[in-house]
Structure 1
Amino acid sequence: MKRIGVLTSGGDAPGMNAALRAVVRVAIYKGLKVSGIRRGYQGLIEGDIFEMDVSSVGDIIQRGGTILQSARCLEFKKDEGIKRGVEVLKMFNIDGLVVIGGDGSFMGAKRLSDAGIPTIGIPGTIDNDLAYTDYTVGFDTAINTVVNAVGNIRDTSSSHQRASIIEVMGRSCGDIALYSGIAGGAETIIVPEIDFTYDDICKKLIQGQNRGKVHSIILLAEGVGKPYEFAEAIKNKTGIDVRVSVIGYLQRGGSPTAFDRILASKFGSKAVELLIEGKKSRALGTNGNKVFDMDITEAITMKKEMDHCMYDLADMLSI
């Protein structure tokens, strides 16, 4: 292993730059050369590759997004795209690759490994939707962003005696809504994994109103339904004024938290070590305070389960 490549793929997440910084600096410290690949797999098949040094990753640990940029690449889902990627990596004398991204990015990494290019996957996605790891890079920053938004919206909701529906990201995984809902003191949390009824939501709103609450916060994961339809249904049933706030891409940006910076740095260092050891097709994860690696195929096929204890806690705290 003389030269490694690194790319960021899929949706950006705060902390990707911290992971990139760790990959580059640890690799150089250990005597390797590093090639940066711009725009993910799209940049790979186009040969958008450049030499990276220590200065290339200076002053980026605190920056959100990814300096390597990212892109979706449908071509890479086909055999021709994988073949082209392997050819380009060999053309640039890249012996191994670190991929920072989510499950789709990991699938590309697996196929490259199957084609003879050792790859290591670093989980970078705000959704925290990879089942094999406790946390993904970017998740902690995203929930802190949501918690700050919830606090701001609660202020105006209290002033006008309203209920507020706050839509957060999470099409198939409700972790952002669940964690930020507990931390932000939401009265109701609606996630894709748990069934709900409008009657249950409305009952809780009315009970809160009857005991003197002047506001209510409803956290809605985007995968459940359309927030304005929720607002209309609740208003028709209760008569309570309901407003909608869609946080959207605010969750993707911003300076990463200390937790995400440290986690990303650990992942980046471990990825380089695994490539030096001759490992391939591995995904990095965290369990407790420990970083571990496992087969990438096993990692992306594990089914994500909702933490029902956390959900029950949220329900008890919102009475």
Structure 2
Amino acid sequence: MKKIGVLTSGGDAPGMNAAVRAVVRKAIYHEVEVFGIYHGYQGLMEGEIRPLEIGSVGDIIHRGGTILHSARCLEFKTEEGQLKGIEQLNKFGIEGLVIIGGDGSYRGAEALTKRGYPCVGVPGTIDNDIPGTDFTIGFDTALNTVIDAIDKIRDTATSHERTYVIEVMGRDAGDIALWAGLAGGAETILTPEFKYDADDLVTKLKRGHDRGKKHSIIVVAEGVGSAVDVARQIEELTEFETRVTVLGHVQRGGSPSASDRVLASRLGARAVELLLEGKGGRAVGIEKNQLVDYDIVEVLEQKHTIDKKMFDLSAELSI
């Protein structure tokens, strides 16, 4: 293999640039040409493809977001869209692709591999919801962003003796809420994986209040519902003064943590190695601090699960 491409797709995540850097420099080290595909699958279909050199990825390891930009592309789910992409790959002589992103990005990689273009998926999403890896690129940075916010909000919650409901990202997966809630000492954590009972939530708040507790932090993953609705329920059932903070897209930004930079570098380089070994249709990951790779179809067939023991622990420690 003499020419490979790299693209980022779906939601951006801190550490994507570090992964792109690793792909480019690992490939060039092995005398392989690298092409950057801009704006994800949309850019692939439209031929937004340019060669990348060593200097092209200089001074990006510390930058959040992605220099290749990203876009969501429904058209690429169709046969017509995939054939447009393959036409561009043929035009540039690209023989394999490294695709950095989440579930949707992996499905595009699977489709291209089936059509004869070997692809390797690299897990890049702050949600940490990709099977086949303990952690995804961007999760650690987003987690620390949320923890920093919780710490700051706790200061004002203490000062004003209020209950704060903090909404974090996680439409289908509650890892950010769970990890940040446990690390931030939240009194209650609500995730999509576990149903919550408003009466139980209120009972817990009242129990704390009766023993002299004047403030509380509740972390809600967006997939559970609106933090505004949760706060409204609390006020109606307790009359406790309640405030809401929705962190939103601030969780996706910022310079990646050391952990995310190292993870991205290791996974990006391993993806190139797999392509040079002639292996496509793979998804790389890390398990027990060791690099792994699985058939991308098998990964897509699995369902992400949250750590129930950690969830139970958070409840035990917030009595």
Tell me, yes or no, whether TM beats 0.5.
yes
Aligned counterparts of 2:37 and 2:237: Cα–Cα separation in 1:
53
Aligned to 2:112: 112
| Structure 2 partner of 1:233 | 233
1:193 aligns with 2:207: no
| Structure 2 residue 243 is the aligned partner of structure 1 residue 243 | yes
Aligned residue in 1 for 2:263: 263
The alpha carbon displacement at 1:225 in A equals 0.9
Q: Which runs of 4+ in 1 moved over 3 A?
A: none
Offset, 1:199: 1.0
1:214 Cα deviation after fit: 2.3
CA deviations over 1:73-123 (Å, ceiling 9, x no partner)? 111010001111111001001011000000000000000000000100000
How high is the sequence identity, in percent, across the aligned residues? Answer: 59
Matched residue, 1:290: 290
Instruction: Name the count of aligned residue pairs.
Output: 319
C-alpha separation between the residues in 2 aligned to 1:232 and 1:265?
A: 44
Give the match for residue 59 of structure 1: 59
Q: Residue type of the partner of 2:190?
A: I
Match of 2:310, SS?
helix
C-alpha separation in 1, matches of 2:212 and 2:34: 61
1:213 has 2:213 as partner:
yes
2:313 matched to 1:313? yes
* Distance in 2 between residues matched to 1:69 and 1:144, nearest whole Å: 23
Deviation at 1:203, TM superposition (A): 1.2
- Of residues 262-271 and 301-310 in structure 1, the stretch that sits farther from structure 2 once superposed is 301-310
Give the partner amino acid of 2:279.
K
Q: How does 1:35-74 map to 2 (within 5 A)?
A: 35-74=35-74
Q: What residue identity is the alignment partner of 2:270?
A: K
Q: For residues 64 and 212 of structure 1, what CA distance do their matches in structure 2 show?
A: 42
Equivalence for 2:100: 100
Q: Superposition pairs for residues 126-137 of structure 1, below 5 Å?
A: 126-137=126-137
Distance apart, 1:11 and its partner CA:
0.2
Q: Secondary structure at the match of 1:303?
A: coil
Distance apart, 1:212 and its partner CA: 2.0
Q: What secondary structure, in the 3-state scheme, does the structure 2 residue paired with 1:283 have?
A: strand
TM-score, with length taken from structure 1: 0.99
Unmatched 5+ stretches in structure 2: none
Q: Tell me the SS of whatever aligns to 2:206.
A: helix
Provide, for residues 103-149 of structure 1, a one-character-per-residue CA deviation record: whole Å limited to 9, x for no partner.
00000000000000010000000001112211100001111000000
SS at match of 1:133: coil
- Residue type at the aligned position of 2:227: P
Name the residue aligned to 2:19. 19
CA distance in 1, matches of 2:226, 2:289: 37
RMSD: 0.7
The normalised TM-score by structure 2 is: 0.99
Consecutive unaligned residues in structure 1, runs of 5 or more: none
Question: Counterpart of 1:87?
Answer: 87
Give the distance between the partners of 2:314 and 2:132, measured in 1 at CA.
Answer: 23
